[in-house]
Amino acid sequence: MGEAFAIARRLRELPDDALRRLTPDRRASSARIADFFDFAEALLDDASVARRMALLDRDTLAVLAAALDGTERHSLATTLGREQSEVDAALERLERDILVLDDGAGPIRPVSAVAAVFEEWTASGRPGRAELRLPAAAPTSHATRPSPDTDALASERAAGAVGIVGESLHELDREPARLLGRGAPSMPDLKRLAAAAASTPDQIELALSVASAAGLTDAIGSAIRLSEVGEAWLASATAERWLRLATAWRDAIPATIRDRILTAYRRGSVDLVEELSWWYPLAEDAVVAPTRAVDAVAELLGITVDGATSGFGRLLVDDHAADAASTLASMLPAEVSQVVLQDDLTVIALGPPTAELDVRLRALAEPEGRAQASRYRITTASVTRALADGDTAEDLLAYLESISLTGVPQPLRYLVSEAASRFGLVRVGTIRASADASADPGRSSYIRSEDAGLIAAISVDQSLVALGLRPSDEHRLTSRIEAATVYWALHDARYPVVAEDDGGAPLRIRRQPVMRTNLSAPAASTEPDLVSRLRADDSGDTSSAWLAKQLEIAVRDHTPVTVQLQHGERRSTFTIEPVSLAGGRLRGLDRSADVERTLPLAMITEVRIAG
């Protein structure tokens, strides 16, 4: 009971964020926890203690092993041959993780399950208490120096990673990706994004992980979409884009292993997994898996190249992020703001385009590739899209003239003019709850056109059968399908279609994924979390419920306690070995007086462990 008693008191004193950190770390089941005593006992469970101990580094494990000898704080440094500051840091973590008790008046006391866990590890052939206490040198044979080409390769990787993330975000803007139960995009979507970014599904998954950490995407329902932050990111310079990704990568490194990983990168560790496995000898996959993920993204972003830390990568891990971005910017090729327009309707940027140029070109052309030169193609559909966004044919031609090094070819002028003349021939909208809806019961959307022949062609188009089109008159069709789906079906069938709002103004519609029920993501619970519930039910040290709980555990564990009673204005203190608690009375043996006492619970104002 002594441990549970002391830890319950300590838990009540911890801030809420520290309590919430303990819950997932210890996998405590909140359903079984009604108060701080229950929480303390859940944290003292052998399996729970073992899980947390497995995530301790070698130095902290050595301090914990030595503390089992009943050593006082000031003696641990001498016993282990360590600096006192190192021992104090380890003890601070052990106290934070509820693995030791320190009342400041005696030796450090590991919780009782610690000894059993060490014995179990020794019996299973893993490093045990005796081995972990021995001085051991960290691996030193795995450092490498960057070659003269390291920074050049790193800058290429950094620019490439920014390009991969950028193309993925543009594709997500065009069509969001479906989210699987494990929190990753589906394989068909990964392949689609990989094709758009000229990359591989594995690289796309890495790129999306760091993009998510940087806030560039949103997971809404069962889809991953471009976020508002992502839209702003796409309009920023390459070095700025890289900086946001790189700082998000650094900040997302698990706190448990962050310092070790950043120290290894400063030195240039070739085999980061091997090094971290040495530092965390009992963590196994709990450290190996996140370390591999961190290292893979570091290689993707050019922070490291084949294990060697790049110059700007070193600045980043040394907390000089702005200097890292400036260094990278000086190594990147100059961006261009003008292009070559060709008779085959392609647009060639003879170098990396500025963010402003790239965003504007994507609004009126289809990207076809990014390498030393970026290539776009202007099509009827892309011009129609730009017109739907509010541009006119004159606006588009004037803009193309302003960015072209070679003028605007005649075929391109003709394409823009032809697309403008056909713009809006077919319009799609939503049937609202109005007189319009009463005329079309059970219908959700409409297709209309002044060209009756075009409406007739759409009505018999076999590729559109799934829309269930029904004529209202010779200029109008209706469908039970929502307007967005109808729009994209017509778009894919190459009709000159435009979506419109209730007032007839052009409306841009983004393609949506096929949605499915997300069985792994239930609706957010309206129940308060564990910490909020414990705080709400806690009435303070002198509450009858708190005192009764302490006495119940003392009776159960046969733990001597000292109780204080209030008789009017008079106080009494007794040290007893509790026997039972029933009917509002505590019965126990008072060894000092050699009598059995029965004390009214209503008069007890304080309970503490005897001794």
Q: What's phi and psi for 164, nearest 5 deg?
A: -65, -45
Between 348 and 583, residue with greater pLDDT: 348
**Residue closest to 186 by CA, chosen among 523, 194, 489:** 194
Using the predicted structure, report yes or no on whether residue 247 has a pLDDT greater than 90: yes
Q: What is the mean pLDDT of residues 463-491?
A: 90
Q: What is the mean pLDDT of residues 139-162?
A: 79
Task: State which amino acid sits at residue 59.
Answer: D
Q: What is the pLDDT of residue 514?
A: 42
Burial of 56 (0-12, 13-18, 19+ CB in 10 A): buried
Using the predicted structure, report yes or no on whether residue 105 has a pLDDT greater than 80: no
Domain ranges in the chain are 2-133, 150-331, 340-420, 426-507, 536-609
Q: What is the mean pLDDT of residues 188-193?
A: 92
Name the range with the highest mean pLDDT among 17-26, 98-107, 505-514.
98-107
| Least reliable range by pLDDT among 261-270, 456-465, 506-515, 568-577 | 506-515
CB contact at 8 A, 341 and 408: yes
Beta strands (DSSP E) in 159-206 are 177-178
Using the predicted structure, report yes or no on whether residue 201 has a pLDDT greater than 90: yes
2-133 and 536-609: identical CATH topology: no
If phi > 0 it is left, if psi is from -120 to 50 it is alpha, else beta; for residue 128 that is beta
pLDDT tens digits along 369-415: 776 678 999 998 889 888 887 788 999 999 999 999 989 999 999 99
Task: State which amino acid sits at residue 607.
Answer: V
Cα torsion through 193, 195, 197, 202, rounded to 10: 70
Q: What's phi and psi for 594, nearest 5 deg?
A: 55, 45
Whole-angstrom Cα distance, residue 267 to residue 314? 9
Fold observed for domain 536-609: SH3 type barrels. (2.30.30)
Using the predicted structure, report yes or no on whether residue 487 has a pLDDT greater than 50: yes
Q: What is the pLDDT of residue 543?
A: 61
Q: What is the pLDDT of residue 372?
A: 66
Q: What is the mean pLDDT of residues 525-539?
A: 64
Into which CATH architecture does domain 2-133 fall? Orthogonal Bundle (1.10)
Q: What is the pLDDT of residue 137?
A: 65
**How much is the pTM?**
0.74
Q: What is the pLDDT of residue 141?
A: 47
pLDDT tens digits along 202-244: 999 999 999 999 999 988 878 888 899 999 999 999 999 999 9
How high does pLDDT run on average in the chain? 84
Beta strands (DSSP E) in 113-215 are 177-178
